[in-house]
Amino acid sequence: MQFFIFDTSEWYVAGVDENGYGPLLGPLIVTGVSLRVKGADPLSASELKGYRFPIPIKDSKELFKRSLASYRVGESVAITVLRICGKEFTSLQGIIDGLSLRKFCLGNYGIEDVDLPAFGGHMNEHLVRYLSNSSIFVEALVVNILMPDEFNEAVTALGNKALLDFRSFMEVQKALDARFFIMGKIGGTSHYGHFFEHLGIPFQLIKESFGASTYKLQDGEIVNFILHADREYLPVTFAGIIGKYLRELIMYSLSRSLGLDTEIPYASGYYHDKRTFEVAEKLPSGLRDRWVRLR
């Protein structure tokens, strides 16, 4: 097997991405993954192209298809990334307690913990060796989980879903020790200055465009919002996969707790999935406000 060889500087690059921006049911999850990589500059050092991973590493929406086989592969990638970072969890609640900026108990949402692995995934030693031989090291992981009731309360207070998403991104950014950040775009916007201003975050504009917007923060961190970043940059791809895995585990626990005996989540939680409305109808009245999103 041939490996992609870097020959220049070492960089600490963090990727931040979201899962669950616009569904009817379930949480918004913003995840940050910090990598140590080698290359000519932070962006080129973080690019996906040029690698031939032994298992699929791609946009989380493409990785987690609606089949157990697909979920098994996605879980294997997620578990492997966690283990490389020195994180080993035996349950969903364990991940929440160990990684989330917002701690909560699954029981408060009427659902049970999930033992891991949930879909038959496992740590992939081939991927571990490939990343090591490619000088790719996972340094840190952070997740920011907003369950639907917290999401609704925050959106009502802020008056803007995109602003809430941006705030969640910046909470993750602050929790990661990195100088260079690559983030997915938020709400399709190219202009984030007013978001920084609204939250009182000092910044310097470097550039704003449809494809990429770049800012410098007061401590020197460079923050990039890039179109399709989860398809092009490994730290963001990893962040999207971890966040998607967590969201699917939560939706899987909801399915089981409602008596839906399925191998993967019964419904995605999104409007285009007719099963989402079946799940919403099965929610006990006392739990609807905890699970149904306002926007």
Nearest of 211, 201, 130 to residue 167 by alpha carbon = 201
Which residue blocks in the chain are alpha helix, DSSP H? 42-45, 60-63, 68-84, 92-99, 125-133, 148-158, 161-175, 193-198, 229-232, 234-257, 274-282, 288-291
Mean pLDDT across the chain? 95
Percent of the chain with pLDDT over 70: 97
Provide CATH code, domain 9-291.
Answer: 3.30.420.10
More confidently predicted of 221 and 4? 221
User: Residue 8: pLDDT above 80?
Assistant: no
User: Residue 197: pLDDT above 70?
Assistant: yes
User: Residue 293: pLDDT above 80?
Assistant: yes
pLDDT tens per residue, range 141-188: 999 999 999 999 999 999 999 999 999 999 999 999 999 999 999 988
Give the model's pLDDT for residue 130: 96
More confidently predicted of 6 and 179? 179
Q: Hey, is 42 helix, strand or coil? A: helix
User: Residue 2: pLDDT above 50?
Assistant: no
Over residues 102-111, mean pLDDT: 97
**Are β-strands 9-19 and 28-39 bridged in parallel, bridged antiparallel, or unpaired?**
antiparallel
Dump the DSSP string for 203-233: EEEEE--SSEEEEEETTS-EEEEETTHHHHB
- Rounded to whole angstroms, the Cα distance separating 30 from 100 reads 10
Say which residues have a Cβ less than 8 Å from residue 205's Cβ, sequence separation at least 6. Answer: 193, 215
Strand partners, 294: none
Give the model's pLDDT for residue 193: 95
Give the model's pLDDT for residue 187: 81
Could you tell me if 287 and 250 are in contact, meaning their C-beta atoms sit under 8 angstroms apart? Answer: no
Q: Which strands form 137-146's sheet, in the order they lie side by side? A: 137-146, 28-39, 9-19, 180-184, 222-226, 212-217, 203-207
Give the model's pLDDT for residue 294: 86
pTM of structure: 0.95
- Rounded to whole angstroms, the Cα distance separating 169 from 149 reads 19
Give the model's pLDDT for residue 67: 94
pLDDT classification of 295: cutoffs 50, 70, 90: confident
More confidently predicted of 177 and 5? 177
User: Residue 132: pLDDT above 70?
Assistant: yes
Over residues 96-106, mean pLDDT: 97
Structure tokens at 191: 């202009």
Biggest alpha carbon distance in the chain? 59
